[in-house]
Chain A
Amino acid sequence: MIPVFELHRPSDLDEALSLMTGLDEVACYAGGTELIQVMKMGFADARHLIDLKPIAELGGIDVLPGGALRIGATVTHRDIEHSAVVAERLPTLVALEHHVANVRIRNVGTLGGNLCFAEPHSDPATLLVACEATVTLAGEAAPRRTLSLEDFLVDAFTTDRADAEILTEVTIPALAADTRLSYRRFALTERPAVSVACRVRVVDGRLADARIVVGAVGPKAVSCRAAASLDGLSTDALRKAIGDVAVACAEEVEPLDELDLDPAYLRNLVAVHVRRALADALAEVAA
């Protein structure tokens, strides 16, 4: 049963921010797939809910000057999955969104809500951290601030968002030419047990700007330091080094204890999927 609350429908962001600052026990929502669920289960207390859906500036998918992709906080997973703009610029994100949760949650749940909830098993977070995405937060009496998604995600269910702040958009920088992006996930129950995103550029046959992000295993998506060892390698050398890099990434992850899975097995899953994601990225080179 959902506890009693007052519902507010501000027509613009200023009004929403004013409510967020002025009210006690307040939370904002768009789809509600996470918030309403935890309220039902007694894990969250909110006496006031702010519906962000009517606020136009929080929606929309745009290409910014310079080629960055801006996705509004209230854009649903389904909208991203079916967006021609995203399909053209970031097809890996489209493919990822196709597998988020189930079709009902994709129809209602939003990217902004997903990232603010900071569930460890979030698929989008893993890929977007690999893309060096940023999030923008608005506060009532403060200028907007933008920070990397990686910094925004502090811990399991914990972000850098202040209580009265509202996340307005996610911005994904334009991918440099010759960028390969791949994503792999593996699920044993409802949510993925491991997710891996790999971004790498291939310039003159050599790797650059490699990022390998592992999510769902630890409290938050982790950009692995081991990826740095890929920079400068030739693609041939990478093929030989893939196994070691994958194992090194697996060592960097601190598994959560929830499913009572053997840590050695979890690390194996990470290594396997890092390998697969890297291989996928390499295969793109041939194309």
Chain B
Amino acid sequence: MSTGPTGITGTAPPSPVGERVQRRDAHAKVTGTAIFTADIVVPGMCHAQVVRSPYAHARLRAIRTDRARTMPGVVAVVTSEDLDDVELLYGHAVRDHPIMAVDRVRFAGEPVAAVVATDPVAAAAAAQAVEVDYEELPYVTDPMEALSDEAPVLHPIAGAMGQQRGFAEVEGPRHPNISSTSRHAFGDVAAELERADFVIEGEYEYPMVYAYAMEPYVAVARFSDRTLTVWSASQHPFLVQADLARCFGLPLSAVDVRVPYIGGGYGSKSYTKIEPLVAALALRAQRPVRLALTVEESILTVRSVPARMWIRSGFTRDGTLLAREGRFWMNGGAYAENSPRVANKATKRFAGPYRMRALDVQSWAIYTNTAPGSSYRGLGGPQGTFAGETQMDEAAERLAIDPVELRRLNLLRPGERPWPGARPFDADLHADLDIVVKRLGYGAPLPPGRGRAICLSSADAGAEPTSSAIVRLHADGSVTAMCGSAEMGQGSTTVLAQIAAAELGVSLDMVRLLNSDTSIVSYDRSTGASRTTTIMGLAIQRAAADVREQLAAWAMELHPDATVESERGGMRIDDRLVPWGEIVRGWFGAPGGEVVGRGYVRADGVTRESPLFWEVGCLGVEVSVERETGKVRVERIVTVGDVGRAIHPQLAEQQDIGGAIMGMGPALHEELRYVDQSMVNGNLWNYRVPRTTDLPEVDAVLAERADGIGPYGAKGSGEASINPIGPAIGNAVRNAVGIRLRRLPLTADRVWIALQEMVADERPSDTEDAARP
């Protein structure tokens, strides 16, 4: 047991891995002392207000800022014309996004100017005084219309490719309103469908939604001492750093991105957002500038990418899945943002965790005059899984096979490759499915108006494995672990500290976790794609190993004749367990000093194969449908988190619960709508997210089989349950009242109308079908 900071007698403290330790950020968050970006105050800080286009598509004829400039408190009024010394375009997939509109606007809400003033009220007042002459242009908000010959072209000059990798050049001519095409294919789909006894096809839709991170976008920028410092609620500070460096012609070493606690991300705070804009304002104002957007402005900054999906599946008579194919049209908005990646991931995440001989899926990210589309939890997973798993149940009905049995028949086993060259499947979904079947009570009778369904999902998780970590062991044996992972609520600062403590055999309270300041921590590509536990966990393990290796060398140098062996918590030198700190002090010959350990992760060794791991979902629901009003209520959710090893079991369960409840929104009532030029419900009184009163009985269990490449066999979490919950609800509604809806959300009015139509068509109701689970 530890006797205090400087000594260890006997054995090292037990590893905190797998323990429900108190979260690092608990005290700060429950006392209100946790600092978020909105709380940052910088001396001399001014406040900005953005002027936005009311038009979906228009030429910018003139912007008159004279009146605004003379108003009280105004420090600067900035348009793109004032930014000759700034590289205006950014965009990690396609570099098509100007910091502020240049010669035209492409969506209602696009920034055209900004005012910087000494206080927010003065800034808002002056923003009203900016006069903009627009020449309206024809606009298009529907992605299918955007592909017609008559559609207005949003980007007559195509943007250059951004720094994001992995998009092949598009073959053949393409419509200029397509920002990106992805294709995921193997085998010969045509031949397999020819062989199939039964082919089913259908069209499915997943809505445009707002991630609603409760903290709206906010950033502070300051130029000083030839350094640009930006505080921002960003999931990817290093990617933002790279964009800022390029836009402002600075070396990376002169750009500092600092991320306090993030008030929710879910993908909506990934990649560059308002940082270049705020930095540009700070540049012109020659003062630090703070920009805090409202929720309404945040919805217009990015929203999720909806999908219209046509898919087809071929089976043999006994239910063996032979092939699937699909075409996905995805509304990417006015600027590509991350919609190319979302569209790409949808192709990888629709077919499900099933064995098949052929697959051919193509997706298009399409420009429209709407707010830019970007990441939303699951990235293409919720969309694709909705199509794939709904059709699975439809196929089961037509084949007269129980939907769970149909899935089991085709379900991948650990070790099989989902597609040629992919990492072998690392999850035992057969066992997970058994758990959900049992705990849901699948197959037991239900009263009328109630239905159950179980859906599965599989996502190629982890994104790129580029990462690094620094672990410093101090003269007293305490540890500072430094990593670029952003704490956005998922608990990374706790989980990573647990790993560091375990690796060095020190107690958790001796470990400090520093994160998310690019001037202090070392490079990590991003926080997202459920990658942090695996990738940053590996980086910390390697950095800790580096520490132990150096300490072993130091110990041998200090004790050349002794047997030296590294153990948990110290170095065994002959018979004595010497605490780490003593070796450090001994080597320096001084009371102070430290060991600096480095860990690198790239696509080699265990992380060479792609994806890093398979994030699988296995989720069952029970719903009730009130026929009179069409209202659907989720009564129960059972979900399995197949995480390999739960470093912190409570946090892992919470990811599944949070994701499932979040996914209930698009499934039942969330949909952003455009009428004419504008988004009509981009605010919280017309857009309803799940509430406490929506909470069903939730049974979230973990399956830990140490089958991941992360520390102790860990995989990742966070984007599992949100994938299958949409189709599970849809299929359960079908089982409850017999209607088949292929478009989410299943709003009460849509359900009711479908029920009326079903009665009108005199189709058999489900009460005749006693076999329904």
Residues of A within 8 A of B (CB): 1, 4, 186, 188-191, 258-262, 264-265, 268-269, 272
The segment from B26-34, B130-138, B685-693, B727-735 found at the interface with A is B685-693
Chain A residues in 8 Å Cβ range of B586: none
Known contacts A1-B120, A188-B747, A190-B685; decide if A268 and B669 are in contact (CB<8 Å).
no
Contact B628 A265 (CB under 8 A): no
Minimal beta-carbon separation of B607 from chain A (angstroms): 45
Contact B753 A265 (CB under 8 A): yes
Minimal beta-carbon separation of A132 from chain B (angstroms): 29
Contact B686 A189 (CB under 8 A): yes
From B120, B685, B687, A191 is in contact (CB under 8 Å) with: B685
A239 to B354, CA, bound (A): 55
Residue of A at shortest CB range from B749?
A: A265
Minimal beta-carbon separation of B537 from chain A (angstroms): 41
Contact B685 A261 (CB under 8 A): no
Known contacts A1-B120, A1-B124; decide if A190 and B688 are in contact (CB<8 Å).
yes
From A186, A189, A268, B685 is in contact (CB under 8 Å) with: A189
Contact A260 B673 (CB under 8 A): yes
Contact A272 B629 (CB under 8 A): yes
- For window 360-415 of chain B, which residues contact chain A by CB distance below 8 Å? none
Minimal beta-carbon separation of A17 from chain B (angstroms): 31
A262 to B686, CA, bound (A): 16
Chain B residues in 8 Å Cβ range of A262: 749, 753
Chain B residues in 8 Å Cβ range of A191: 685
Minimal beta-carbon separation of A73 from chain B (angstroms): 25
User: What would 19 more interface pairs be, CB under 8 Å, given A188-B669, A189-B686?
Assistant: A1-B120, A1-B121, A4-B121, A186-B629, A188-B688, A188-B747, A188-B748, A189-B688, A190-B684, A190-B686, A190-B688, A258-B686, A259-B686, A261-B749, A262-B749, A265-B752, A268-B752, A272-B628, A272-B629
Does B649 sit at the interface, judged by CB under 8 A? no
Minimal beta-carbon separation of B95 from chain A (angstroms): 35
Contact A269 B629 (CB under 8 A): yes
Does B630 sit at the interface, judged by CB under 8 A? yes
Size bin of chain B's contact surface: 20 to 34
Minimal beta-carbon separation of B170 from chain A (angstroms): 36
Chain B residues in 8 Å Cβ range of A188: 669, 688, 747-748
Minimal beta-carbon separation of B623 from chain A (angstroms): 17
Chain B residues in 8 Å Cβ range of A265: 630, 748-749, 752-753
A191 to B675, CA, bound (A): 21
Residue of B at shortest CB range from A260?
A: B673
Central interface residue in B629, B747, B752, by most chain A CB within 10 Å: B629
Chain B residues in 8 Å Cβ range of A261: 749
A191 to B753, CA, bound (A): 22
Chain B residues in 8 Å Cβ range of A268: 628-629, 752
Chain A residues in 8 Å Cβ range of B749: 261-262, 265
Chain A residues in 8 Å Cβ range of B748: 188, 265
Minimal beta-carbon separation of B50 from chain A (angstroms): 14
Minimal beta-carbon separation of A43 from chain B (angstroms): 13
Minimal beta-carbon separation of B42 from chain A (angstroms): 21
18 A-B residue pairs with Cβ-Cβ distance under 8 Å, sorted by A, are A4-B121, A188-B747, A188-B748, A189-B685, A189-B687, A189-B688, A190-B684, A190-B685, A258-B686, A260-B673, A260-B675, A260-B680, A262-B749, A262-B753, A265-B630, A265-B749, A265-B753, A268-B628
Residue of B at shortest CB range from A42?
A: B128
A189 to B694, CA, bound (A): 12
Residue of A at shortest CB range from B121?
A: A1
Residue of B at shortest CB range from A269?
A: B629
Chain A residues in 8 Å Cβ range of B629: 186, 268-269, 272
Minimal beta-carbon separation of B694 from chain A (angstroms): 12
Minimal beta-carbon separation of A83 from chain B (angstroms): 25
CB 8 Å contact bits of B682-712 with A (1 = contact, 0 = none): 0011111000000000000000000000000
Residue of B at shortest CB range from A1?
A: B124
A105 to B18, CA, bound (A): 43
A191 to B628, CA, bound (A): 20
Residue of B at shortest CB range from A193?
A: B748
Chain A residues in 8 Å Cβ range of B120: 1
Chain A residues in 8 Å Cβ range of B673: 260
Residue of A at shortest CB range from B684?
A: A190
Minimal beta-carbon separation of A270 from chain B (angstroms): 11
Minimal beta-carbon separation of B54 from chain A (angstroms): 13
Chain A residues in 8 Å Cβ range of B753: 262, 264-265
A272 to B687, CA, bound (A): 24
Chain A residues in 8 Å Cβ range of B630: 265
Minimal beta-carbon separation of A279 from chain B (angstroms): 12
A123 to B489, CA, bound (A): 37
Chain B residues in 8 Å Cβ range of A4: 121
Chain A residues in 8 Å Cβ range of B688: 188-190
A92 to B719, CA, bound (A): 45
Chain A residues in 8 Å Cβ range of B124: 1
A264 to B684, CA, bound (A): 26
Minimal beta-carbon separation of B128 from chain A (angstroms): 9
Residue of A at shortest CB range from B675?
A: A260
Minimal beta-carbon separation of A261 from chain B (angstroms): 5
Residue of A at shortest CB range from B124?
A: A1
- For window 586-642 of chain B, which residues contact chain A by CB distance below 8 Å? 628-630
A191 to B687, CA, bound (A): 11
Minimal beta-carbon separation of A260 from chain B (angstroms): 7
Minimal beta-carbon separation of A156 from chain B (angstroms): 15
Minimal beta-carbon separation of A242 from chain B (angstroms): 13
Chain B residues in 8 Å Cβ range of A189: 669, 685-688
Minimal beta-carbon separation of A278 from chain B (angstroms): 14
A261 to B628, CA, bound (A): 16
Central interface residue in A259, A262, A265, by most chain B CB within 10 Å: A265
Chain A residues in 8 Å Cβ range of B121: 1, 4
Chain A residues in 8 Å Cβ range of B628: 268, 272
CB 8 Å contact bits of B714-747 with A (1 = contact, 0 = none): 0000000000000000000000000000000001
A268 to B630, CA, bound (A): 10
A13 to B680, CA, bound (A): 41
A259 to B120, CA, bound (A): 33
A239 to B630, CA, bound (A): 24
Minimal beta-carbon separation of A18 from chain B (angstroms): 30
A260 to B629, CA, bound (A): 16
CB 8 Å contact bits of B44-57 with A (1 = contact, 0 = none): 00000000000000
Minimal beta-carbon separation of B756 from chain A (angstroms): 8
Chain B residues in 8 Å Cβ range of A272: 628-629
Q: Top 5 A-B pairs ranked by shortest CB distance? A: A265-B749, A190-B685, A189-B688, A272-B628, A1-B124
A59 to B759, CA, bound (A): 54
Residue of A at shortest CB range from B688?
A: A189
Residue of B at shortest CB range from A271?
A: B628
A21 to B673, CA, bound (A): 43
Minimal beta-carbon separation of A195 from chain B (angstroms): 14
Minimal beta-carbon separation of A92 from chain B (angstroms): 21
A188 to B753, CA, bound (A): 16
A272 to B686, CA, bound (A): 23
- For window 664-682 of chain B, which residues contact chain A by CB distance below 8 Å? 669, 673, 675, 680
A186 to B629, CA, bound (A): 9
Minimal beta-carbon separation of B212 from chain A (angstroms): 14
A258 to B675, CA, bound (A): 11
Chain B residues in 8 Å Cβ range of A186: 629
Residue of B at shortest CB range from A268?
A: B752
A272 to B121, CA, bound (A): 48
Minimal beta-carbon separation of A277 from chain B (angstroms): 13
A52 to B686, CA, bound (A): 31
Minimal beta-carbon separation of A28 from chain B (angstroms): 24
Residue of B at shortest CB range from A4?
A: B121
A188 to B668, CA, bound (A): 10
Minimal beta-carbon separation of A155 from chain B (angstroms): 20
- For window 304-360 of chain B, which residues contact chain A by CB distance below 8 Å? none
A221 to B124, CA, bound (A): 38
Chain B residues in 8 Å Cβ range of A259: 686
- For window 8-50 of chain B, which residues contact chain A by CB distance below 8 Å? none
Minimal beta-carbon separation of B676 from chain A (angstroms): 13
